[in-house]
A and B are shown apart, each in its own frame.
Chain A
Amino acid sequence: MEGKSLRGFLEKLEKAGQLVHYTDEVMPEPDIRRIGRAAVDIAAGNTGPAVLLENIKGYKGKRLAINVLGTWANNAVMLGMDKDTPLKDQFFEFARRWAGGSDGELKWIKDAPCQEVKITEDINLYEILPLFRVNKYDAGFYFSKASVVTRDPEEPDNIDKQNVGMYRVQVQGPDTLGIQVLPFHDGGIHLRKAEEMGKALPVAVCLGVHPVISLMASAPLQYDQSEYKYAAAFMGAPQILTKTLAANLDIPAYTEIVLEGEFVPRGRFVEGPFGEFPGSYSGSRRQFRIKLNAVTTRKNPIFENLYVGRPWTEHDTLIGLNTSATLYFQLRETMPEVKAVNAIYQHGLTIIVATDNRFGAYAKTVGMRLASTPHGTSYAKNIILVDGDVDPFNLVQVMWALSTRVRPQKDVIVIPNTPGMPLDPCSEPPGIGGKLIIDATTPTAPEISREVRMVDSIPESEPYQKILVELQKAAAR
């Protein structure tokens, strides 16, 4: 069962050479921030390891894991692939697993590992967990990788409407959390309903879960799609859950640390700033507050957090392919010409779509369709369309397409004054933006294009790559 836990995944990473133990003493600030930054910066987010910090000053005996899914090598391990698998191949394996949808099976156990240790009095998170300030001007110590579980208060037994969402959480007191849940989030719908009823919404904050749970918590699933069922289908095995001590909430049974509590109804409290995924600080806002009534953990728990800030960071890797896969399937519902979607940049503020042209100028319609998907409405600011035989994850190929296919007077469209993403630092006012569509596909009839002959790609060269890589490895020995 450890295969479904953070610990099980860390073992897999270690076997693949993608986990390091950091045993020298470090200060919570600024050392952990710097180590997190360094781990993801190795080879630009491609090959750096997860880091288990085991000697944090003042927190003797406590362990912190960072950069667990920070790099594409670690993502490949999660997908059961060789750690140097190219990103396009990871995308297709991800999409294959994602296509399982919500067909996964759920199982419940009692006396779960996540409740081996129970703290219900004198809760002090500053002493229980090795907290640290992620970025210098954050308002405090944040959970940047928390899976937050709530239920729809109008349908408390509907498991598909139970939500697991990833929201930023600030520890604002020994047993008090500040949390940013926005109105368009599924958790925001639960909160609105609870506040309309004047009720305190029960909540569980899960820290240290298998990366597939984090993946689903941060994915734009529909309101009535279960993150747990998606996770089970993705992993090809039942998802093992248990009930929280105090409420009817389901939590992954192997979670390292679970914080149980309730939202303070109809109150708003200062939260932020926080260094966010576009690489800019959010402002201070008045947001929701959670009061805790219990903390449960595994024995000797591992606290997990991620570094987020100026990209590339673990946040980008975590949400890169789930954003891409969601949009890929939504586009292909009516546009099977779409071959691949790369939405890994800043949660899809910039997206590259590889598509064939069904007829002249069709790719521009693909761009507009992307701009009107639920996620693309606020994101999908810069949309680049390339031919179906161009690898949208290979920026050398994308740049070639831009260089040789784009006719600025015909292929660049700017749509002003559309919804925008408030965290985009150039969305002004926050929430208002625009769309840029660049069609870098080859013109198709009835469009008229210049008579040229392009050099063919040579797919038959691929097997030789493997031969040459092996020869190179042998030469280095």
Chain B
Amino acid sequence: MKCVRCLTDNAAKVAEAPDQSKAWEVFVCNRCNFVWRSTEEPEVIEPEKRDPWFQLAGVEIENIPVFSPVPPLKK
């Protein structure tokens, strides 16, 4: 399934409303870790309505900055 943020085919359903009400479903993208619920506002969960500033379409994961670099292993 397509992620609404990075637009790759890496998203999957991970949860349903726990009270059996079928009120909503939750999806996670395993690539960019975006998470959304089926009942959220269109500007959050519809790619064409999302603010482009927050999209990660076409962004390579390894180009996303790291705040805490992995230190060298100490022997």
A266 near B68 with CB under 8 A, answer: no
B24 near A286 with CB under 8 A, answer: no
* Complex alpha-carbon distance, A286 and B17, angstroms: 30
**A137 touches which of B51, B61, B66 (Cβ 8 Å):** B51
A270 near B67 with CB under 8 A, answer: no
Contact with A along B9-20 (1 / 0, CB 8 A): 000001111110
Q: Which residue of B has the minimal Cβ distance to A28? A: B37
Q: Which residue of A has the minimal Cβ distance to B6? A: A270
Q: Which residues of chain A come closer than 8 Å to B34, judged between CB atoms?
A: 139-140
Q: Which residues of chain A come closer than 8 Å to B17, judged between CB atoms?
A: 57-59
Cβ of B48 to closest chain A Cβ, rounded Å: 15
Check: B72 CB closer than 8 A to any chain A CB.
Answer: yes
Check: A172 CB closer than 8 A to any chain B CB.
Answer: yes
Q: Which of B46-75 contact A (CB under 8 A)?
A: 51, 54, 56, 61, 64-68, 70-74
Interface residues in chain B, defined as those with a beta carbon under 8 Å from any beta carbon in chain A: 5, 14-19, 21, 23-24, 26, 28, 30-37, 39-41, 43-44, 51, 54, 56, 61, 64-68, 70-74
A173 near B28 with CB under 8 A, answer: yes
Q: Which of A128-172 contact B (CB under 8 A)?
A: 128, 133, 136-137, 139-141, 170-172
A183 near B74 with CB under 8 A, answer: no
Cβ of B27 to closest chain A Cβ, rounded Å: 10
* Stretch in contact with the other chain, from A66-74, A96-104, A109-117, A193-201: A193-201
B67 near A174 with CB under 8 A, answer: no
B64 near A126 with CB under 8 A, answer: no
* Complex alpha-carbon distance, A454 and B60, angstroms: 64
Contact flag A58-B67 (CB < 8 Å), given A141-B35, A172-B35, A270-B32: no
Contact with B along A260-289 (1 / 0, CB 8 A): 000000101111010000000101111110
* Complex alpha-carbon distance, A29 and B61, angstroms: 28
Q: Which residues of chain A come closer than 8 Å to B31, judged between CB atoms?
A: 270
B41 near A192 with CB under 8 A, answer: no
- A to B CB contacts below 8 Å, 6 in the list: A61-B19, A127-B15, A139-B35, A268-B68, A286-B64, A287-B66
A196 near B74 with CB under 8 A, answer: yes
Known A-B contacts: A58-B23, A136-B44. Give 9 more (CB < 8 A): A57-B17, A137-B54, A173-B30, A174-B14, A183-B67, A191-B68, A197-B74, A273-B54, A286-B65
**B72 touches which of A28, A172, A196, A284 (Cβ 8 Å):** A196
Which of A60, A182, A284 has the most chain B CB atoms inside 10 A of its CB? A284
* Complex alpha-carbon distance, A403 and B74, angstroms: 58
Check: A178 CB closer than 8 A to any chain B CB.
Answer: yes
Contact flag A57-B64 (CB < 8 Å), given A141-B35, A196-B72: no
Q: Which residues of chain B come closer than 8 Å to A57, judged between CB atoms?
A: 17, 21, 23-24, 39
* Complex alpha-carbon distance, A139 and B54, angstroms: 9
Q: Which residue of B has the minimal Cβ distance to A198? A: B73
* Complex alpha-carbon distance, A61 and B19, angstroms: 8
**B28 touches which of A172, A191, A288 (Cβ 8 Å):** A172
Check: A382 CB closer than 8 A to any chain B CB.
Answer: no
Cβ of A123 to closest chain B Cβ, rounded Å: 11
Q: Which residue of A has the minimal Cβ distance to B65? A: A285
A124 near B67 with CB under 8 A, answer: no
Contact flag A137-B33 (CB < 8 Å), given A196-B73, A286-B66: no
Q: Which residues of chain A come closer than 8 Å to B65, judged between CB atoms?
A: 283, 285-286
Cβ of B18 to closest chain A Cβ, rounded Å: 4
Q: Which residues of chain B come closer than 8 Å to A28, judged between CB atoms?
A: 24, 37, 39
B33 near A270 with CB under 8 A, answer: yes
Q: Which residue of B has the minimal Cβ distance to A188? A: B68
* 10 tightest Cβ-Cβ pairs between the two chains A and B: A58-B17, A140-B35, A126-B15, A58-B23, A60-B19, A127-B18, A196-B74, A172-B33, A126-B26, A286-B66
B15 near A174 with CB under 8 A, answer: yes
* Complex alpha-carbon distance, A29 and B26, angstroms: 12
B21 near A285 with CB under 8 A, answer: no
* Complex alpha-carbon distance, A197 and B70, angstroms: 11
Q: Which residue of B has the minimal Cβ distance to A197? A: B74
A173 near B14 with CB under 8 A, answer: yes
Q: Which residue of A has the minimal Cβ distance to B15? A: A126
* Complex alpha-carbon distance, A250 and B61, angstroms: 36
* Complex alpha-carbon distance, A126 and B36, angstroms: 11
Check: A412 CB closer than 8 A to any chain B CB.
Answer: no
Q: Which residues of chain A come closer than 8 Å to B30, judged between CB atoms?
A: 173
A195 near B15 with CB under 8 A, answer: no
